Amino acid sequence: MHAPGKNIRLLLLDVDGVMTDGRITYDAQGGESKSFDVKDGHGLKLLQRAGIQVGIITGRCSSIVQRRAEELGIEIVYQGAKNKLEPFEQILRERGFREDEIAYMGDDLVDLPVLLRVGFSATVADAVAEVRERVDYVAACPGGRGAVREVCEFLMKQAGVWHRVTERYYGGEPVS
């Protein structure tokens, strides 16, 4: 039996409740703000260094999400996706991935159709029960507080690349 998450080439993420804690703050002028965890961001950069691509599929539209994606070098970004299967199927068609090569991390009912199709499904500790009960991996951390980092590390360890990707932090040269 093969280890879950071992052959993943793409991690797709929901934003609100996964990359953030799910809260949206509005100021008096109607501006919106979201908070992202820097450890999650570093985990995504490590994952990319390991050769695993990252993408976003979110139901809302926000310039903040686009900015965060640009900061992290995420080129696959779908916003305003009311039916998340549509961008997922577009990714399959246009980017040459198979379902079993994709991991998806979501936290709510709207994410289930994709979570149930991918090769590896994950969620945050504070996801709705229906999602937690159906995924391959439930992070110990809540959304926006390290859950994405946890899944990134899990995927790199499953793929056997964790030590190669992190060796430079221990004063050594990366191992190929």
Q: CB–CB of 89/58 below 8 Å?
A: no
Q: How far apart are CA 60 and CA 80, in angstroms?
A: 5
Check the annotation: does 111 bind a ligand.
no
Q: How far apart are CA 39 and CA 77, in angstroms?
A: 20
Q: CB–CB of 47/91 below 8 Å?
A: no
Q: How far apart are CA 58 and CA 13, in angstroms?
A: 8
Q: Parallel, antiparallel, or unpaired for β 102-105 and 76-78?
A: unpaired
Check the annotation: does 40 bind a ligand.
no
Check the annotation: does 136 bind a ligand.
no
Q: CB–CB of 80/59 below 8 Å?
A: yes
Q: Parallel, antiparallel, or unpaired for β 102-105 and 10-13?
A: parallel
**Binding-site annotation: residue ranges for substrate:** 16
**Binding-site annotation: residue ranges for Mg(2+):** 14, 107
**Binding-site annotation: residue ranges:** 14, 16, 107
